[in-house]
Amino acid sequence: MAFVFAVTGSAVGLGNIWRFPYIAGENGGGAFVIVYLLCVFVIGVPIMMSEIMLGRRGRRNPITTMQLLGQEEGGGRQWRFVGILGVGSGFLILSFYSVIAGWAIAYVFRNAFGVFIDADPHAVDGIYRVLTGTWWKSLAWHTVFMGMAVFVVARGVERGLERAVRILMPALLILLLMLLAYSLSTGFFSEGARFLLYADFSALTPGGVLVAMGQAFFTLSVGMGAVMAYGAYLPQQTSITGTTLMVAAADTLIALLAGLIIFPIVFANGLDPALGPGLAFETLPLAFGRMPGGIVFGTLFFVLLSFAAWTSAIGIIESAVAWMVERRHLSRVTAASISGAIVWFLGIATVLSFNILAEFKFLKGTLFDNVEYLASNILLPLSGLSITIFAGWVMARISSCEELDAGPGGIYKCWHFLARLVAPAAVILILVEAATGGMISRLFAA
Ligand code: TRP
């Protein structure tokens, strides 16, 4: 159970409440959500199982684990590059994650001071713009958040966190249910729910499918060696399948809840579902400003969101720190400080993307858009692909069977089929389809 809580703590974060609704909104809603759900359970779950399994077998940091298992299974030590790719994507992801988490902390205070009481959408938008549009404010909160994350990792108090997660997750769920009650009261619930759940596949582009897959990796924390680092602590008799399914189910539930809360508020206030990264920050305060007890619940909500982001951020740095401590013989404090400094520095790009460099656009948009796209939609799938190819093709069946065969017979076969064939094929198809602007579906249509 401790492991389930720790992994849930890393999986549930900004990815569920901030990222999922906004990219679902940008990609047209329903059809995107269905593809996302398929990606979570058909690609994400088997890859997550592979990642945890490799972590438990290697019992080291992700880079060393991949190197050792590579040698042990006859694939060569160069498999360590998969670990390196994962840790590298982690740094990139955390660089923007920390900036957004900083905003969440800032919103704790804005709520507590009653700034949102009876505010209209225009006023809420103004508050969001002042925070994100003033580079030093955003940078200051980014610095606070990174400091908090580095502090915990440096002290190595993950055990305390695991206990905290046991209280925080249920509390977050209760607050989400209260928000859901508010959304039901807006009179626009069915419109919001239809947007999120009614599948209009004509709105879905090949690029959208890739974004859905990237989100599946992002939200499950898969493809970064992070759950591999957690797996290193998993007792031998615990079922990897059961654990993974529980985490995936909890994570999906929270993301869908966030969507069901946010979109009715969007429609009730005439906002644009494709608002972008500000979506959660422009809708939820509206709800808190109008519901009874909004100051208390709003403040509590942003505290919990900051905590959820905190537990995730710790999971992201942990794999790099574990590697520096085990292989480079640095102290935890030094390793955490170095990682934190690198991430903080990279994060400046995201901070400036919402103010000074807001007009500096190329490829996918601002610097932030590009970092986010590269890390989530290209690096995570590539490293997830390598992990599943390793687990399904390089690793001997006896080895993986030994780790995964805990459950009833069919489960191992099912995992093996998904991890060896379905997941790699799907990742490759989706990457190629997006890179070529829909070549594969055109071939099929012809
Ligand atoms: N899953 C986290 C979220 O949804 C973010 C995340 C991505 C993460 N990769 C990770 C967290 C690795 C911990 C470890 O917010």
308 CA closest ligand 1 atom index? 15
413, with CB counted inside 10 A (0-12, 13-18, 19+), is exposed
> Percent of the chain, pLDDT > 70?
98
Ligand 1 binding pocket includes 64 (Cβ within 6 Å): no
pLDDT at 288 over 70: yes
Contact 89, 114 (CB under 8 A): no
The residue ranges of DSSP E strands in 61-123, in sequence order, are none
Residue whose pair of structure tokens reads 């498999």 in the numeric block: 79
Does 358 have pLDDT greater than 70?
yes
Residues comprising the chain, all counted? 446
**Span from the CA of 93 to the centroid of ligand 1 (angstroms):** 8
- In angstroms, rounded to a whole number, what is the distance separating the alpha carbons of residues 35 and 435? 18
Q: Is the pLDDT of residue 208 over 90?
A: yes
More confident of the two residues 255 and 413:
255
Question: Does 233 have pLDDT greater than 90?
Answer: no
DSSP annotation of 77: G
Taking residues 37-66, report their average pLDDT: 96
pLDDT in tens, 147-195: 999 998 898 766 667 777 888 889 999 999 999 999 999 999 999 999 9
Q: Is 15 in the pocket of ligand 1 (CB under 6 A)?
A: yes
Q: How far is the CA of 248 from the centre of ligand 1 (A)?
A: 12
Q: Which atom of ligand 1 is nearest to the CA of 251?
A: 4
Mean pLDDT, residues 199-211? 91
Give the C-alpha separation, 107 to 278, whole Å.
12
Which residues, in sequence order, are CB contacts of 1 under 8 Å at separation 6+? none
Ligand 1: residue of 152, 221, 305 to mutate (most ligand atoms within 8 A of CB) is 221
Does residue 384 have its Cβ closer than 6 Å to ligand 1? no
Question: Which atom of ligand 1 lies nearest, measured to the CA of 13?
Answer: 15
Which residue CA neighbors atom 7 of ligand 1 most closely?
A: 221
Q: Measured from the CB, is residue 219 less than 6 Å from ligand 1? A: yes
Is 13's C-beta closer than 6 angstroms to any atom of ligand 1?
Answer: yes
How distant, in Å, are the alpha carbons of 53, 54, 57, 185 from that of 236? Answer: 10, 12, 9, 48
Query: Which pLDDT score, from 0 to 100, does residue 319 have?
Result: 85
Residue 429 tokens read as 């198809």
CA of 430 to the centre of ligand 1 (A): 22
Domains for the chain: give ranges and CATH numbers: 2-445 (1.20.1740)
The pLDDT of residue 407 is: 58
Closest ligand 1 atom to 318 CA: 14
The pLDDT of 312-333, averaged and rounded, is: 90
Flag whether pLDDT at 238 surpasses 90. no
Q: Is 93 in the pocket of ligand 1 (CB under 6 A)?
A: yes
Measured CA angle at 185 (ends 180, 188), to 5 deg: 90
**Residues 243, 249: Cα–Cα separation, whole Å:** 10
Other C-beta atoms lying within 10 Å of the C-beta of residue 272? 11
Band the pLDDT of 52: cuts 50, 70, 90: very high
Q: Which atom of ligand 1 is nearest to the CA of 319?
A: 14
Q: What is the pLDDT of residue 167?
A: 87
Q: How far is the CA of 299 from the centre of ligand 1 (A)?
A: 23
Ligand 1 atom 12, closest CA: 221
Q: What percent of the chain has pLDDT over 90?
A: 82
According to the model, what pLDDT value does residue 79 have? 95
Helices 45-58 and 380-389 pack at an angle, to 10 degrees, of: 60
The span from the CA of 383 to the CA of 85, in Å, is 6
Average pLDDT over residues 41-54: 97
| Average pLDDT value for residue range 222-231 | 91
